[in-house]
Amino acid sequence: MNFSKNDISASLASPFDSKLTASDWLSLVEKYPYCEIFLWHYLRVLYCSDAFDFENELLRLGIRISNRSDFYLFMTSKKPKQDSAEYNLVSTDYFSHADSVTAERHESLRQLARKLREKRIEEQSKHIENEKVDYVKLIKEKRYSEALEILRQINLENPKKSRYFAVQIRYLETILNNNK
């Protein structure tokens, strides 16, 4: 251990300009096993140096990481530019960082939900259009009972257009009753 407390605090304050090596961080992790930030820095040094044993160390020590989403952000964050406002923030300003991360997550979750909703609606409309074509063909072929089953299924899947399908269902039911 050829580093001082000042080296540790400087490395913690600016993780992108760390003077400590992977073996230094490992010795700190072994000496202070419950100090998770040492573990984070050790794994980050391994990750950034493309060490061959990064995956093994991550598997071995990953159980001790309590907040994996913040750990992921820490591992994948890039060095900010010198003139950016983020670079000048005090490293202990946890709450502003947490608020910005939370806001980003909420926005990305909203976008993901919106995309999923649009995709689901698109798939439903394609499915309904395909079944509409099927039941129209069946009606033209005078296979009314099969067309009636498809219409009932479409009616259950798409309650917004239930009036339209109810009229179609009644029409087919009257045709079937008249044919008997």
Residue 98 lies in a domain: no
* Shared-domain flag, residues 77 and 126: no
Residues 24, 14: Cα–Cα separation, whole Å: 16
Domain that holds residue 154: 122-179
**pTM listed for this prediction:** 0.44
Domain boundary among 84, 111, 132: 84
* Shared-domain flag, residues 67 and 126: no
Residue 116 lies in a domain: no
pLDDT digits (tens, 9 = 90+) for 20-46: 888 888 888 899 888 888 888 888 888
Over the range 134-171, which residues count as b (16 or more CB within 10 Å of their CB) and which as e?
ebeebbeeeebeebbebbeebbeebeeeeeebeebbee
Residues 54-80 have a mean pLDDT of: 84
Residues 51, 102: Cα–Cα separation, whole Å: 31
pLDDT digits (tens, 9 = 90+) for 92-102: 455 555 666 66
Residue 102 lies in a domain: no
Contacts of 96 (CB under 8 A, 6+ apart): 89
Residue 133 lies in a domain: yes
Q: Is 142 helix (H, G, I), strand (E, B) or coil?
A: coil
Total structural domains in the chain? 2
